[in-house]
Structure 1
């Protein structure tokens, strides 16, 4: 156990650090170039037994806080601290509190400190924050560039020994061989560095519901176990099949997220603040952060750290372990980080200085990307997070990176900043590389005609190696709607014609959620649901987002990189789940008022495993809950979501809540219980054992078909020797078909699929004159297809066949 007997500021090294800072100013004329270098050394870096610590503090300078009233506060455990596990979720830790003087250089504060305890895999390290005294009161500044915030984003940062973390990772050879003849995955040279090539296919995963305890550690163990079974040729379960057939995983955001003002308080120090000479002890009451969130409600602060709510041990090492588990598989899987830096959640202004914030925006707060230091910090947050070992980066909402030009009074897309993001260099295991780059960009969204106007190609034109989300991947796509595959044909054809730099797929966190927000009509009404998908909501939604013909179209025919959603693969529920919102919680729940029709039949609501909290509120019947949440939405819209007015109206209309008088607090409590119960209900651990083994194995083979033919990434030559079309006239059933040939001409592929509609019969080889009449062998026939004859093929809704033909 490391316990420092004395923590002290090293004046000589600190003065050297300040001199280095001054030299950066002399080296560059451009403020942004200066900021990029200075920002790289902000935060806390443990090297050679000492900690270098830097803060950007314009608020202290602006407010005229005397230098002698600013200190670096260090909280050091005085005894061994257990890492969190399933049996330990709260600890009382004795800490020594030291306040150290700190040097000011312009708008920055610097310190080189001896004796700070670094955090390792086995133990927590010293916590640190900046404190200053103003008008007789003490204030705290947290490190925006921290690598670990074990007690939540509103708590202090932890010093981490990053060099040891990097040295211990089991996949160092994976990185050390990038760009060599021994590289485990293909790369291309990019300005002298290897840039990781695009994957062949990808699956999106929400860590919070992917395993029973919702942790990266649990996810790492799952992939380690899968790797063991693959090496020993053991039989895979259905729940393991749905994870395989991909060479990339896109994690939904894993950054620290906002917290509920009233319900979340994961750390506190009991005892009075110490005098500047320090040395006193205090008690740190620390809890494992227990947060429900889809990941996008970030506050920018500590973006460089993993979200502690998905770390079962509180150690950032879990993220490295998960990445290594993917890289160490017999066939390595790339890991893609979903980077949401285009906005900040509303509480971000409590954690960032005012220079960061430009003003309110659609999703909370907009950042001032034109400020040179803010610009540099955001880019360095990206670099630091990706240095945990990611292979790819997906930039969420790239169209949201904008700036206001007061001259013409217009907003412009900050493509220069997006280019800076593309140029960021990673270093892992001693190897420098650039990741596979993916942008989600729907410009000119939010302009009213964006669905027609967006080309989804603006950033591909600027960065030809990059990928963008395709037009069928965005949230507004709802494959459960009748005529989806007919009305979206023009966009699907674009995928076929020039979609080789697109991420394709109709199942992801956005599309599945939007699908469950759609009303489930009982008949042929406006926006009718496709009745051929199933007999009830759960059957329809499961089939719509995991339909054999859809998966076979995407993986066996269309270009680009198909992406699926693990929750859809598992036929697991999905909804908008977060317990971090103390302002719009009830509104968010009410807008999910259709989710019960899609995912929760009465027998599942009655199951004693589920919805325990809502039942404790007195809502014993599924239909009572369904009626109440629909009423809540109507009342909310009528009262403009004023909770006091909503409570009074709900009481007058009648409520299943077991209370004498409905209050605003009752509605808040209902929303919180809803979120917790739905999050528990959606956990994949509830659904993996109920998957159909044959179907899961078949879908795995569909994805393996793609893995065996990476050339399918390329566009279909629709104007030449290949074909992609649908059967004319539709006549009640939408049948897609396509014909492709490998680049060297040794293999041909024929796909025919009933995308929606009743059973129909076609003659596959007569669909296009380019299709050879003979020599075809069945490669894949979806479950239910009785005969895959190329002369006469009958297909029901969702069924498809893929044939291959070998050319000698």
Structure 2
């Protein structure tokens, strides 16, 4: 095996380049924007360049004591194996320190590719008699998770070999979009017309991006061949965008074994047991370090190529589909503390650690991590929790929203397949949340007004929306009306990863003084919840009639279970579990619990029925409140109240039970278990509605003075929405009426709006609803709706 060697001249050139950047910019942030672009490991055809930001070493560790540790496997490594022992050739190469940065250019390391593991690397030094290491926050590949050494990866090759290069070339040829409001000539991707949200970890049996690629590849081939789609496949189609929940490397459970386990370390060799990362997480418990690459737990091959393969597959569908990344950079999990130097953090916060956006290198570094992630080829970016990007003003003694940073996020450009572009920008921003009056005070338009090309999550999309509650569509009327009047730059719809989870947390049998459940949605609690988030009336309303970009969630489309899934938290897992106490009531049918495929771990604890599980979770929730989350006291209390898990519980038992719950729920929620339960008529209807939107995309714009949206007053037990829209260019008219909730009601659609009754056709109608003419009485039950259309464009 060829040995690596230090390139002194090339390393000195890196140091000189860094000094020049600092000298030529008065602003440290402007200089850092350039310097961070060269941090990390970069393969240069014949050698590699490594750059680290190391302020923690200045003044405490001599520069000549810091070495670059290179680990190159001596034999081919099967990254799909569950566990294996690997021998690595180990080299320590000298580095150069320039101020707060450490650099090295090296001949001889092996770049990672689709087919081979590249050289692993990290900084290494002796300190107080022990060897310490520093990882790379700007890593391009982390095959063993964020806590294992990063991998040198050939990112240029990955870009050069992608199958959707023509897709990006077409963007360059089209030029700047009319709505982009840019004056630098950089094109921006257009917004989508409708979007599907996907959680990669539970969307397929494998829980990987490769599994998703297989689904869309199969669908695309059927579409090319004119073959019919299965009901389950329909649930993935009819959209022109897919939003992937966060893909970044995540924290790990500190009580678990881990995936990088060094066993023997000598001067020239290191032996390690490496395990296939298998963390279960909804994606938001990120550690910032390695943000620019992909969580290896959702990579079947453990190669970043999988993400490019998925994107290219979607881009080359018969009807190309945009890809939107969910970017969570508003916080860091506490698991980030051992991975990053202290400069990154502003202190503890609601979700773990607040990031210091006022630190110039941190500010630039986060933007650089965003750029690298989006350079995998995404068309759009959804900024998670934009209201959380805040800084502390010591003079005013209050936090302020860092809107300039959010604007910097909007200005980042991508380069894919040789084409520079900007993505479609989406912000989730509910400010002044968490102020107590935020739901009333939030306009959901703060960032749209600053960036007219951008979108925001609209008011009926946020996590607190629970359409399973009775009177939801009456009390939310004012927000629905806002969507109609000003929602053309809003993401709309009611089904997403947050809203379904909040629905699951509702009290199934609330006291009379509390909001009640809408029993008209279905005969069982499971049906009530499922229909609340996959509702024919709201589907027609948001996809067929209202402006903006409606978004659905795969699990809502499938009417499959969904919850708060993560096995990565050893500290708060039980508290999270206690908050899920109503999950069995809402999402587990008796037959599901009895199914041998499901809840195998929980059954080993002694749970024999759904009722037993539900009762235990209620007691667990009570002990959390009674003990202020003292786990020892919780274990003692649960040991004496008589539960299936025994009368001698330890803290370790409870923590293991929490992990087993998370893993069983993730397995239960995997969509492959629910493909055979899909209803042919319902999935055909949902797809028909989505196709209607794309064939009538003028509805994406806000209602005008000629249009109407209203509700029948007095309600008399039923919330009936009705509306009329017309398109001045095509002459097309739409007439909508829907029973959003309540008792069945018979209504004559044309009597609600002053329009002529002739010439209308039924464009969309809820499954099972027989209707032909808007001038005839229509019996509407809860969740039923009809949309009529007619065109006067060709009339004399």
Under TM normalisation by the shorter chain, which class is it? over 0.9
Shift of 1:282: 2.3
Counterpart position of 1:214: 207
Q: Is the 8 A contact 2:240 2:321 kept in 1?
A: yes
Q: Is the 8 A contact 2:64 2:96 kept in 1?
A: no
Counterpart position of 1:787: 771
Counterpart position of 2:744: 759
Counterpart position of 2:678: 691
Question: Mind listing any 5+ residue stretches in structure 1 that lack a counterpart?
Answer: 275-279
Q: Is the counterpart of residue 23 in structure 1 residue 20 in structure 2?
A: yes
Tell me the distance in 2 between the aligned counterparts of 1:217 and 1:703: 26
Q: Deviations over 1:313-366 (max 9, x none)?
A: 110110001111110101111000000000000121111000011100011000
Which aligned pairs between 1:22-171 and structure 2 lie closer than 5 A?
22-63=19-60, 65-84=61-80, 88-171=81-164
Q: Is the 8 A contact 1:702 1:780 kept in 2?
A: yes
Q: Deviations over 1:516-546 (max 9, x none)?
A: 0001118966211001000111100110000
Counterpart position of 1:714: 701
Which aligned pairs between 1:417-432 and structure 2 lie closer than 5 A?
417-432=405-420
Q: Deviations over 1:662-688 (max 9, x none)?
A: 111111111111111111000000111
Q: Deviations over 1:698-730 (max 9, x none)?
A: 10010001111221111011xx21111111111
Q: Deviations over 1:583-622 (max 9, x none)?
A: 0111111110001011112211011110000111111222
Which aligned pairs between 1:455-604 and structure 2 lie closer than 5 A?
455-521=443-509, 526-604=514-592
Counterpart position of 2:233: 240
Tell me the distance in 2 between the aligned counterparts of 1:156 and 1:761: 66
Helix, strand or coil for the counterpart of 1:180?
Answer: helix
Helix, strand or coil for the counterpart of 1:485?
Answer: helix
Within the candidate set 340, 358, 363, 1:375 is matched to: 363
Q: Is the 8 A contact 1:293 1:580 kept in 2?
A: yes
Helix, strand or coil for the counterpart of 1:589?
Answer: helix
Task: State the TM-score, normalizing by the size of structure 2.
Answer: 0.98
Supply the RMSD in Å over aligned alpha carbons: 1.4
Q: Is the 8 A contact 1:737 1:753 kept in 2?
A: yes
Counterpart position of 1:277: none
Counterpart position of 1:678: 665
Q: Deviations over 1:86-106 (max 9, x none)?
A: xx2222222101010001101
Task: State the TM-score, normalizing by the size of structure 1.
Answer: 0.96
Helix, strand or coil for the counterpart of 1:196?
Answer: coil
Tell me the distance in 2 between the aligned counterparts of 1:653 and 1:616: 20
Tell me the distance in 1 between the aligned counterparts of 2:456 and 2:367: 20
Q: Is the counterpart of residue 452 in structure 1 residue 449 in structure 2?
A: no
Q: Is the 8 A contact 1:538 1:598 kept in 2?
A: yes
Helix, strand or coil for the counterpart of 1:178?
Answer: helix
Tell me the distance in 1 between the aligned counterparts of 2:389 and 2:601: 40
Q: Is the 8 A contact 1:781 1:788 kept in 2?
A: no
Helix, strand or coil for the counterpart of 1:226?
Answer: helix
Q: Is the 8 A contact 1:256 1:299 kept in 2?
A: yes
Tell me the distance in 2 between the aligned counterparts of 1:302 and 1:468: 27
Helix, strand or coil for the counterpart of 1:15?
Answer: helix
Which aligned pairs between 1:82-481 and structure 2 lie closer than 5 A?
82-84=78-80, 88-181=81-174, 188=180, 190=182, 191-274=184-267, 280-481=268-469
Shift of 1:773: 2.2
Count of matched residue positions in the alignment of Structure 1 and Structure 2: 791
Shift of 1:661: 1.1
Tell me the distance in 2 between the aligned counterparts of 1:455 and 1:62: 49
Shift of 1:409: 1.1
Shift of 1:83: 3.3
Q: Is the counterpart of residue 631 in structure 1 residue 619 in structure 2?
A: yes
Q: Is the 8 A contact 2:431 2:442 kept in 1?
A: yes
Helix, strand or coil for the counterpart of 1:736?
Answer: strand
Tell me the distance in 1 between the aligned counterparts of 2:226 and 2:763: 23
Q: Is the 8 A contact 1:178 1:187 kept in 2?
A: no
